[in-house]
């Protein structure tokens, strides 16, 4: 038997995921956005730690305590240093100074930086938890509809068409009203309404892949339906899930901001929406910093996620790979 | 190209006696392995069906390589896929090992899948790009409960070795291999379940000519080693001639002629088979006729749509010899010589003079005496 020379193989084996990562690393803008997203993630984690610490010690966090003496302090990194407290070392004094209101304070004298960090934490909670609700629904229903077709497909298409026919924000409001105002309402409201687009995408891709001969081969080899769907088809369309996640994350955050701004979102915690809602009252009098930093935080997050999502779509696009 | 194959054909004949076919057309083949009876595969609605396969019956004997040829769109791939239950059949029976495989489910279907496997046309598309070669092979072994968990990797390596690939490439992904190598991997995957019947759906048509010969030789070697039976679907007549013992010619979802490969090439009795054979261009003589006495029959028009039911012989719209009889009555497949069946009212006329005369001539340069 003739064994053809195998000379086209590189020294190291690479999966398609590794290829995509290499592709992504070459793009400077994408890597910059990835760093921005990582910094936001770090801020959110820091916010969560602060929140947990205060809960555990049953204390009100500083960003919640009104201090009317410090109303409307403008942002400054070089504020006059407060005098050292009794028994306080010089190092602690400087540390305390650095931690005081670099982004100014709001109308109740609360630290804007601390509140922006908490807003980041809320934004990540919303982005992640709504994704954990919407993405599994969209992926599973999309896979079932695309793979089995027939009645199953008819039912799922009917279901998501019905969902898509209801105006989004109204539906979110209705769900929020049923489960009560607060984060739970935000999670469920956004999570249960935003799976439709992903479901459509996944259904179409699964139908396309079902006709491909690697799926036919799997069927001929007697592999089970669920093994074919989740081990063969899903890894091949998973890039859609990743891209959808990065693109829906900022839109979920935006929806949360709108809900909080309208007063049916987060209750009693500083979300970006609540900050913007509060800040608009004093904007006329030149108190620009609370509005500006909350808006900038949203802007940076949305921009970074969107640019990263676009770059990911390019890097993960299987059409470019198949030609090679 | 045919010259290249002719040389390989000669070599193959020296090596093995598989090509020999006795007068009854069955040669020394064993019992019937797969019996297809009046199989129909229709697509679309009941009122306007597209008859991809329209009443096909044939038998695959153990140990043979049965070729299935025809133009694209004649239903040959659909037929192969229906036999493997990849396409639901509309009517008919497919007997394998005493049961009708079109009506089995569950465990019995799984057993059938271990017996009958497929080799796919497209070596680029038939492997999952996200699975390593080793992963793909061990998965099949796992699903069919072959070997112990720790043995499976060694079994997969043995499979790769049997198709001429280095076991060191177990952890590679499909996109790191060439087309011919991927086709070898596909063959190894089909062999993982120890099948008896392999349905090869144009297994070499997507490959370079030089690689085609390698894969065909591999298939021949594997047939000898494992006692495999092939149903070889192809449109390349040179390839079919090189590997097949018996040939079925399909046109518009029906079999129009069947017989031993050598006989069919030497004495085609159906006008469609004649046209197919003379349409193969010859490198040495250009598009001239291949046999001395036979003119090149160029078919006019296209294959009619399989959604329109044709009255009479399905080939009459393009047949240069069609008569009123052909337009009125559908010819059935009938035996004109031992092991040679033709669906044509005038088969005897087209069969030409008695045995021997002109047969070698019609073989053209593929005949050893000429080549």
CB contact (8 A) between residue B173 and residue A322: no
Mean pLDDT of the region A15-33: 88
Determine which of A205, A221, A235 to mutate to test the interface with B (most B C-beta atoms within 10 Å).
A221
> CB burial class (10 A; 0-12, 13-18, 19+) of residue B308?
exposed
> Residue B67: beta bridge partners?
B232, B247
Question: For A239-247, what is the mean pLDDT?
Answer: 90
Rounded CA separation B368/B360 (Å): 9
Identify the top-confidence range among A11-25, A294-308, B20-34, B35-49.
A294-308
How far lies A4's CA from each of A12, A28, A317, B161, B177, in Å?
A: 20, 41, 31, 12, 11
Instruction: Locate A6 and state its tokens.
Output: 């195998």
- Per-residue pLDDT for B22 more than 50? no
The whole-number pLDDT of residue A308 equals 93
Does residue A184 sit at the B interface (CB-CB below 8 Å)?
Answer: no
Does A8 sit within 8 Å of B166, measured CB to CB? Answer: no
Confidence at residue B150, expressed as pLDDT on a 0 to 100 scale: 85
Q: Mean pLDDT, to the nearest integer, of A291-302?
A: 91
Task: Say whether residue A320 is in contact with chain B using an 8 A CB cutoff.
Answer: no
**What is the pLDDT confidence band of residue A207, given thresholds at 50, 70 and 90?**
very high
* DSSP string of A126-189, one letter each residue: HHHHHHHHHHHHHHHHHHHHHHH-HHHHHHHHHHHHHHHHS-HHHHHHHHHHHH-SSHHHHHHH
Q: What is the ipTM of this complex?
A: 0.77
pLDDT tens, A75-107? 776 666 667 777 777 777 766 666 667 777 777
Q: Which range (A12-21, A166-175, B104-113, B158-167) has the least confidence? A: A12-21
Count of CB contacts below 8 A, A vs B?
A: 107
Phi, psi of B43 (to 5 degrees): -110, 170
Q: Which residue of A has its CA nearest to B222?
A: A1
Contact between chains at A13 and B173 (C-beta distance less than 8 A) = yes
The token pair at A165 is 């026919």
| Structure confidence by residue, pLDDT tens digits, B245-289 | 999 999 988 999 999 988 888 888 898 998 888 877 665 555 544
pLDDT in tens, B71-102: 888 888 899 999 999 988 999 999 998 889 99
Nearest to B179 by CA among B200, B157, B208: B208
Q: Which residue has the higher pLDDT, A256 or B303?
A: A256
Query: What was the pLDDT predicted at B357?
Result: 39
Total Cβ atoms within 10 A of residue B74: 24
CATH class in words for A28-54+112-323: mainly alpha
- Can you give the pLDDT at residue A13? 64
Q: Model confidence at B371, in pLDDT bands (50, 70, 90)?
A: very low
What does DSSP say about strands B50-61 and B32-43: parallel, antiparallel, or unpaired? antiparallel
Mean pLDDT score, B305-325 = 84
Is A214 in CB contact (< 8 Å) with chain B? Answer: yes
Query: What integer best gives the mean pLDDT of chain A?
Result: 85
A212 chain-B contacts, CB cut-off 8 A:
125
Q: What is the pLDDT of residue B139?
A: 92
Chain-chain contact of B143 with A227 (C-beta, under 8 angstroms): yes
Residues of A in contact with B172 (CB under 8 A): 9, 13
A10-14, A311-315, B136-140, B296-300: which is most confident:
B136-140
Mean pLDDT computed over A248-262:
88
Residue whose C-alpha is closest to residue B193's, from B120, B114, B133, B126: B114
For chain B, percent of residues with pLDDT exceeding 90 = 36
- Give the residue among B348, B354, B335, B197 at the shortest CA–CA distance from B255: B335
Tell me the average pLDDT across A31-40. 94
Window 44-103 of B: residues touching A by CB (8 A cutoff) are: 81, 84, 86
DSSP A284: G
From the candidates B126, B145, B187, which should be mutated to test the interface with A, based on the most A CB atoms within 10 A?
Answer: B126
DSSP class of residue B30 equals -
> Does B1-371 carry CATH code 3.20.20.10?
no
pLDDT for A318: 62
| Residues 330-359, chain B, touching A (beta carbon < 8 A) | none
pLDDT band at A18 (very low <50, low <70, confident <90, very high): confident
Range from A157-161, A304-308, B47-51 carrying the lowest mean pLDDT: B47-51
pLDDT, position B353: 58
Chain B residues within an 8 Å CB radius of A208: none
Instruction: List the single range of A207-211, A277-281, B362-366 with lowest mean pLDDT.
Output: B362-366
Name residue, tokens 């057309």: B25
Beta bridge partners of A105: A111
Query: Do B129 and A212 make contact, defined as CB atoms within 8 angstroms?
Result: no
Distance CA(A317)–CA(A322), nearest Å, equals 9
Share the mean pLDDT of chain B: 81
pLDDT (0 to 100) of residue B300: 73
Q: What is the pLDDT of residue B134?
A: 92
* pLDDT value of residue B361: 41
Q: What percent of chain B has pLDDT over 70?
A: 82
Of the candidates A15, A218, A236, which has its C-beta nearest B173's C-beta?
A15
Contact yes or no for A261/A119 (Cβ under 8 A): no
Pairing of strands B334-337, B340-342: antiparallel
- Any chain A CB within 8 A of the CB of B144? yes
pTM for this entry: 0.79
Whether B125 and chain A come into contact, CB under 8 Å, resolves to yes
SS3 B197: strand
Mean pLDDT on B313-331: 87
Q: Predicted confidence band at A65 (pLDDT cuts at 50, 70, 90)?
A: confident
Give the full edge-to-edge strand order of the sheet including B99-100.
Answer: B50-61, B32-43, B91-96, B99-100
């Amino acid at each position: 038997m003739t064994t053809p020379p195998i000379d086209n193989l590189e020294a190291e084996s690479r999966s398609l995921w590794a290829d995509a990562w290499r592709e992504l690393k070459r793009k400077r803008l994408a890597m910059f956005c990835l760093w921005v997203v990582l910094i936001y993630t770090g801020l959110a984690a820091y916010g969560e730690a602060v929140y947990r610490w205060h809960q555990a010690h049953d204390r009100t966090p500083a960003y919640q305590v009104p201090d009317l003496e410090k109303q409307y302090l403008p942002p400054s990194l070089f504020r006059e240093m407060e005098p050292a407290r009794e028994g306080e070392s010089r190092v602690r004094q400087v540390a305390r100074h650095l931690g005081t209101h670099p982004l100014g304070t709001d109308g109740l004298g609360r630290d804007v930086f601390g509140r922006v960090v908490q807003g980041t934490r809320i934004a990540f909670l919303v982005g992640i938890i709504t994704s954990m609700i919407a993405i599994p629904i969209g992926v599973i229903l999309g896979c079932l509809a695309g793979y089995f077709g027939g009645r199953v497909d008819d039912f799922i298409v009917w279901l998501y068409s019905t969902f898509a026919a209801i105006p989004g924000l109204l539906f979110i409001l209705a769900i929020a009203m049923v489960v009560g105002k607060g984060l739970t309402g935000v999670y469920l409201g956004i999570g249960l309404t935003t799976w439709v687009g992903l479901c459509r995408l996944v259904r179409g891709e699964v139908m396309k892949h079902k006709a491909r001969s690697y799926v036919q081969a799997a069927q001929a080899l007697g592999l089970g339906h669920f093994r074919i769907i989740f081990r063969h088809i899903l890894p091949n369309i998973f890039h859609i899930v990743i891209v959808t996640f990065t693109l829906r994350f900022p839109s979920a955050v935006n929806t949360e901001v709108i809900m909080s701004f309208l007063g049916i979102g987060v209750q009693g915690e500083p979300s970006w929406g609540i900050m913007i809602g509060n800040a608009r009252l004093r904007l006329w009098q030149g108190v620009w910093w609370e509005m500006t930093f909350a808006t900038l935080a949203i802007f940076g997050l949305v921009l970074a996620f969107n640019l990263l999502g676009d770059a990911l779509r390019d890097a993960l696009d299987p059409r470019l790979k198949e030609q090679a | 190209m045919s010259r290249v194959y002719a040389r390989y054909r000669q070599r193959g004949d020296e090596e093995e006696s598989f090509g020999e076919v006795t007068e009854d057309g069955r040669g020394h083949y064993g019992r019937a392995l797969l019996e297809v009876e009046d199989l129909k595969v229709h697509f679309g609605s009941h009122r306007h069906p597209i008859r991809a396969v329209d009443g096909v019956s044939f038998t695959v004997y153990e140990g043979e390589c049965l070729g299935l040829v025809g133009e694209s769109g004649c239903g040959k791939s659909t037929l192969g896929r229906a036999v493997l239950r990849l396409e639901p059949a509309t009517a008919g029976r497919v007997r394998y090992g005493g049961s009708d495989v079109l009506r089995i489910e569950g465990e019995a279907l799984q057993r059938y899948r271990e017996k009958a496997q497929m080799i796919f046309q497209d070596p680029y598309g038939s492997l999952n790009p996200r699975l390593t070669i080793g992963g793909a092979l061990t998965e099949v072994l796992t699903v069919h409960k072959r070997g112990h968990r720790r043995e499976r990797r060694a079994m997969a390596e043995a499979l790769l070795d049997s198709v001429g690939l280095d076991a060191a490439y177990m952890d590679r992904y499909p996109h790191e291999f060439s087309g011919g190598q991927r086709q070898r991997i596909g063959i190894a995957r089909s062999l993982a379940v120890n099948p008896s019947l392999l349905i090869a759906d144009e297994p070499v048509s997507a490959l370079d000519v030089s690689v085609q010969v390698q894969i065909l030789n591999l298939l021949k070697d594997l047939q000898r080693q494992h006692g495999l039976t092939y149903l070889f679907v192809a449109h390349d007549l040179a390839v079919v001639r090189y590997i097949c013992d018996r040939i079925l010619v399909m046109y518009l979802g029906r079999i129009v002629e069947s017989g031993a490969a050598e006989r069919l090439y030497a004495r085609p009795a159906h006008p469609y088979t004649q046209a197919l054979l003379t349409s193969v261009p010859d490198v040495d003589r250009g598009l001239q006729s291949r046999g001395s006495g036979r003119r090149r029959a160029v078919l006019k028009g296209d294959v009619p749509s399989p959604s329109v039911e044709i009255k009479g012989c399905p080939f009459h719209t393009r047949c240069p010899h069609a008569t009123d009889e052909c337009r009125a009555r559908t010819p059935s497949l009938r035996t004109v010589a031992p092991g040679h069946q033709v669906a044509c009212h005038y088969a005897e006329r087209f069969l030409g003079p008695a045995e021997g005369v002109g047969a070698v001539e019609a073989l053209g340069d593929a005949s050893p005496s000429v080549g």
